[in-house]
Amino acid sequence: MLYHLFHWLGPGIPGGGVFNYISFRAGMALFLSLVISLWFGKGIVRLLQRLQVGETVRDLGLEGQLQKQGTPTMGGLIIIAATVIPALLFARLDNIYILLMLVAMLWLGTIGFIDDYIKVFKKDKRGLAGTSKIIGQVGLGLVIGLTVYFHPAIRTKVEVPQVLAEQFDPAEVSTYVEDNGTTHYLLDRRQPSTTIPFVKGNEFNYSSVLGLFGRSARQYTWILYVLVVVFIITAVSNGANITDGIDGLAAGTSAIIVLALGVLTYIGGNIVFSQYLNVMYIPGIGELVVFIGALLGACIGFLWYNAYPAQVFMGDTGSLALGGVIAALAILVRKELLVPVLCGVFLVENLSVMIQVSWFKYTRRKYGEGRRVFLMSPLHHHYQKQGYHESKIVTRFWIVGVMLAVLTLVTLKLR
C-alpha cells in the first residue's frame, strides 16, 4: 500500500524512493511484524484470557502437561495479524504472488479458527471434522495450482544457448548482459517447472512425465500439477499442525524454514544472483521477500509468548496457516521437491503418527492386541515419555531444522 502511495505521489517526496527497494520494504515489514506481535500480542493474550479461550488438556501421563490446562489458545491470530498487516502496508498489492500468499494465510487461518472455535466455545473436543479440513486444504491447493499454471503473469525464465534461442519466437526470449559484456539468452517458460535437487541442469518440467504416454498426453499436465500442489499443501499444513504439540516447537521450526525460503526467494527473483548460481529466474517472485519478512517477524515475535512455559498456544488457527503458507511458498519459488528436506521436522512428525497408527491397527488384527513403535506419537511426545524436558526437545528439534535448512541451501551449488 505504501509502495503504491509513494509511487502515486511521485519522486518529489523526500525519502519516498526507498520504497522501490525490496530489501528496505522487507526489513520494514519484519520490524513492524515484530512490533505488532510483541506489543499488541500481549493485548490479544489478555483478551483470550478474559474470554476464557483456554486449552483443554487430556491427561496423557506427560510431565507438566496438566499445568497447561486453561492456557489460552487461538494465539495464531497474533501470527496472522503480524503477517497480513505489514504485508498489506509494504508489499506491492498488484503482485500475483503476494495476493496468493494473503489468500493462503487467511484461507487456512479461517479453517483453523473455526476448528478452535468449535473446541473452545462449543465444548466439542473433536473440533472441525477432519473431512472438512481436508476439503478446505484441497480447495486452497486447487486455487494455487490452477492460478500458477494458467495465470499469464506467472512464468519462469531459463538460460539457453544463442543458437537455441534463435529458434524461438523473439517475444519469448529476453537477454541479460553482464558487466563484462557477456550476453545471456533467457527463454520465457509459462508452463510450471520445478527444481530437482542435487542434479546438474536441475530444471524439471511436469509435462515430461506425461510425455512418456505420448505427445497428446501433455495437454493434461495441469491435472498432474494441481494434484501435486494439493498433496503438498495438505501434507505440510497437517505436518505443522501435528508439530504444534509442545511450547515453541512449531513456531521456532517454522521460523527456520521461512528464513531459508526467504533466501531461495531472493535469489530466484534476482536476475544477477540466479544467473550466477545457475538457478531458475522467476520474474516478480522477489516481491515475496516482503511477505516472508513479515512472516518471519510474526513467528519470532510469537515465540515471546509461546516459549516455555507458554502463555498462549497458536492452536489450529496458527498451525494450519503456517503449514499452508510454507507449502505455498515452496511451490511458488519452484522448490516443492525440496520440501521433504526443508520441512523434514514436519515430515518426521507426520510419519511418526502414520507409523504408530498403522502398526497399532495391524498388530491388533494379527495378535489381538495393539502394539506401538513409539512410546507415544507424534515423535516429540515419544521423547517426553523418555524423560526429556520439553525445552531440550524443542532446542534439539530446532538444531535439526537448522541443519536441514543449510542442506537445502547447499543444493544451490551441490549438483
Q: Each residue of 75-129: pLDDT tens digit?
A: 999 999 999 999 999 999 999 999 999 999 999 999 999 999 898 888 777 888 8
Q: Any residues with CB less than 8 A from the CB of 224 and at least 6 apart, and which?
A: 206, 209, 210
**Angle, CA of 190, 194 and 200, to the nearest 5°:** 120
Return the pLDDT at 172: 62
With beta carbons less than 8 A apart as the criterion, state whether 401 and 408 touch: no
Give CA–CA dist 101/99, Å, rounded.
Answer: 5
* DSSP three-state, residue 158: strand
Residues 355, 357, 358, 364, CA torsion sign: positive
pLDDT in tens, 55-74: 665 555 566 555 666 688 88
Kindly write down the DSSP assignment for every residue of 214-268, as one continuous string.
-GGGGGGHHHHHHHHHHHHHHHHHHHHHHHTTSTTHHHHHHHHHHHHHHHHHHHH
- Between strands 183-189 and 156-160, the pairing is antiparallel
Angle between helix axes 315-332 and 249-268 (nearest 10 degrees) is 20
Q: Stretch 366-377: mean pLDDT, rounded?
A: 89
Return the pLDDT at 281: 84
With beta carbons less than 8 A apart as the criterion, state whether 248 and 303 touch: yes
Return the pLDDT at 127: 82
With beta carbons less than 8 A apart as the criterion, state whether 136 and 111 touch: yes
- Considering 28-37, 56-65, 270-279, the range whose residues carry the highest mean pLDDT is 28-37
Q: Which of 38-42, 290-294, 322-326, 399-403 has the lowest mean pLDDT?
A: 38-42
pLDDT in tens, 282-304: 888 999 999 999 999 999 999 99
- Residue 307, exposed/middle/buried by CB under 10 A (0-12, 13-18, 19+)? middle
- The closest alpha carbon to 133, from 153, 147, 113, belongs to 113
Give CA–CA dist 100/211, Å, rounded.
Answer: 29
- The closest alpha carbon to 258, from 127, 82, 56, belongs to 82
Q: CB under 8 Å, gap of 24 or more: what pairs does 161-165 form? A: 161/185
Q: Any residues with CB less than 8 A from the CB of 13 and at least 6 apart, and which?
A: 6
Domain boundaries, given as residue ranges, for the chain = 24-155+190-410
With beta carbons less than 8 A apart as the criterion, state whether 58 and 124 touch: no
Return the pLDDT at 60: 59
Residue 325 pLDDT grade (very low, low, confident, very high; cuts 50, 70, 90) = very high
| CA 23 to each of CA 27, 122, 218: distance values in angstroms, whole numbers, following the listed order | 6, 45, 39
Residue 314 pLDDT grade (very low, low, confident, very high; cuts 50, 70, 90) = very high
Return the pLDDT at 287: 95
Residue that has been written with the C-alpha cell 507449502 in this structure: 327
Query: pTM for this structure?
Result: 0.90
Return the pLDDT at 6: 64
| Interior/surface letters 104-134, b for 16+ CB within 10 angstroms, e for the rest | bbebbbebbbbbbbbbbeeeeeebbeeeebe
Please report, rounded to a whole number, the percentage of residues in the chain having pLDDT higher than 90: 53
The CB density around residue 177, as the number of other CB atoms within 10 Å, is 9
- The closest alpha carbon to 244, from 342, 136, 353, belongs to 353
Element (H, E) at 187: strand 183-189
Report cis status (omega within 30 of 0) of the bond before 152: no
- The closest alpha carbon to 105, from 143, 131, 51, belongs to 143
Residue 3 pLDDT grade (very low, low, confident, very high; cuts 50, 70, 90) = confident
pLDDT in tens, 139-185: 999 999 999 988 888 877 666 666 666 665 666 677 767 666 677 76
Q: Assess whether pLDDT exceeds 70 at residue 47.
A: yes
Residue 216 pLDDT grade (very low, low, confident, very high; cuts 50, 70, 90) = confident
Residue 198 pLDDT grade (very low, low, confident, very high; cuts 50, 70, 90) = confident
Mean per-residue pLDDT over the chain, rounded: 86
Residue that has been written with the C-alpha cell 517447472 in this structure: 193
With beta carbons less than 8 A apart as the criterion, state whether 48 and 75 touch: yes
